Structure 1
Amino acid sequence: MSPPSRILVYGVYGAGKSTLAERLADRLGLPWYPVDDQLWEPGWVEVPVPVQRERMSGVCRRDRWVLDGAYHGWRDVVLARAELVVGLDYPRWLSYGRLLRRTLRRLLTGEVICNGNRETLGSVLSRESILVWHVTAFGRARRRMRAWQADPAGPPVLLFRSPAELDRWLADLPRHGAGRRRG
């Protein structure tokens, strides 16, 4: 059986969606389309939802892709085309710990995230902080992944409850293609 060519990686902030999407793209020779690049303009200006939907529809019309998220304004577009959803259903402490370490690293290094944007101390301490988003979104993301897995009308969903479990699955994937191409 050939591996899927349209994969959605899903999970709460900090679970490792982008890292996994990049690994899957490399392993399977698929193009990876980082979602944040589609959603944020320079200066952390959010792209209007109708434009997000248009952009993501364009990506999803392609025959091959890996996406590292799906949000409310266009989630249906992705699910209608995905051949597989890989859900990172890790415990809150694990994903929050990863998010906190990543956020602190980005603050200290000034790492560019997407379209020239960087995390700042002000953004991390604000009510719109990604750390706050994690707390408020964790339960919803978990319930959503589990509902998708239980829905026979949707794409197949693999839920991983630990990084070790995910690593075992990845080790069994056949290597295809010449490596990832960032879309």
Structure 2
Amino acid sequence: MAVVGAVPVVGAVPVGRGPSRAGPPAARAQVPYAAAMSQPARILVYGVYGAGKSTLAARLADRLNLPWYPVDDLLWQPGWVEVPVAEQRSRIEAICRRDRWILDGAYHGWRDVPLARADLVVGLDYPRWLSFWRLLRRTVRRLLTGEEICNGNRESLGSVLSRDSVLVWHVTAYGRARRRMRAWQADPSGPPVLLFRSPAALTRWLADLPR
């Protein structure tokens, strides 16, 4: 069990910005993490497609009174026209220069920007089957309801069945996303990282967060 200030966190794996040379092993793991988490103001939520990043970001924004910037809205224009990577980076840099924010993702071309400014990374390190099932369920719901996403776009049967389908992306990107999160966790020069291996552990942590 790790300690965030006076709040116990169960089922998550915390890492501080660097190891302390004093105190027992438990203290070395907890002290820098507790200090970093005393009042997080810049949070990066990360995970594979379908893990629940946006849902978690919305809950954290409400609980901690922080502004949430949905990443997909910054990356896609109407008609599924992707914003050029240079412009994506510029938009993310403008957000990350602010003192308070939550981002629900980090992608190639600008992933380094939020990592350099975040004071907490929350990673959803769920099993492959769970995140894929969530993604499949969400995709079917959006197809049936015509739900608007990403600046008025909608998912279509053609896009879901294409080689660029988000379902295909999940299969190909899952391993890379998991390795990336765990590498961040092991890097003492980066921000503190919390990895959650199950929704139940995440729910317990959220319930114990100070309001």
Say yes or no: TM over 0.5.
Answer: yes
Q: Distance in 2 between matches of 1:89 and 1:71?
A: 17
Correspondence 1:45 to 2:45: no
Q: 1:5-60, CA deviations, whole angstroms, 9 ceiling, x for partnerless residues?
A: 00000000000000000000000000000000000000000000000000000010
Q: Distance in 1 between matches of 2:73 and 2:149?
A: 9
- State the 1:172 CA deviation: 1.0
- State the 1:114 CA deviation: 1.3
Structure-2 residue corresponding to 1:132:
168
Structure-2 residue corresponding to 1:25:
61
Q: Residue type of the partner of 1:98?
A: R
The DSSP-based 3-state class of the residue aligned with 1:158 is strand
The DSSP-based 3-state class of the residue aligned with 1:159 is strand
How many residue pairs were aligned? 175
The DSSP-based 3-state class of the residue aligned with 1:154 is coil
Structure-2 residue corresponding to 1:181:
none
- State the superposition RMSD in angstroms: 0.6
Correspondence 1:60 to 2:91: no
The DSSP-based 3-state class of the residue aligned with 2:46 is strand
Alignment of 1:15-164 (within 5 A): 15-164=51-200
Larger CA Rg, structure 1 vs 2: 2
For structure 1, the 5+ residue unaligned runs are: 176-183
The DSSP-based 3-state class of the residue aligned with 2:152 is coil
Q: Distance in 2 between matches of 1:65 and 1:151?
A: 23
Q: Distance in 2 between matches of 1:86 and 1:152?
A: 16
Q: 1:124-163, CA deviations, whole angstroms, 9 ceiling, x for partnerless residues?
A: 0000000000000000000000000000000000000000
- Of structures 1 and 2, the one scoring higher in RCO (CA 8 A, sep 6+) is 1
Q: Distance in 1 between matches of 2:46 and 2:88?
A: 17
The DSSP-based 3-state class of the residue aligned with 2:169 is helix
Q: Distance in 1 between matches of 2:39 and 2:75?
A: 28
Dislocated runs of 4+, deviation >3 Å: none
Structure-1 residue corresponding to 2:209:
173
The DSSP-based 3-state class of the residue aligned with 1:152 is coil
Q: 1:75-134, CA deviations, whole angstroms, 9 ceiling, x for partnerless residues?
A: 000100000000000000000000000000000000001100010001000000000000
Identity of aligned residues (%): 84
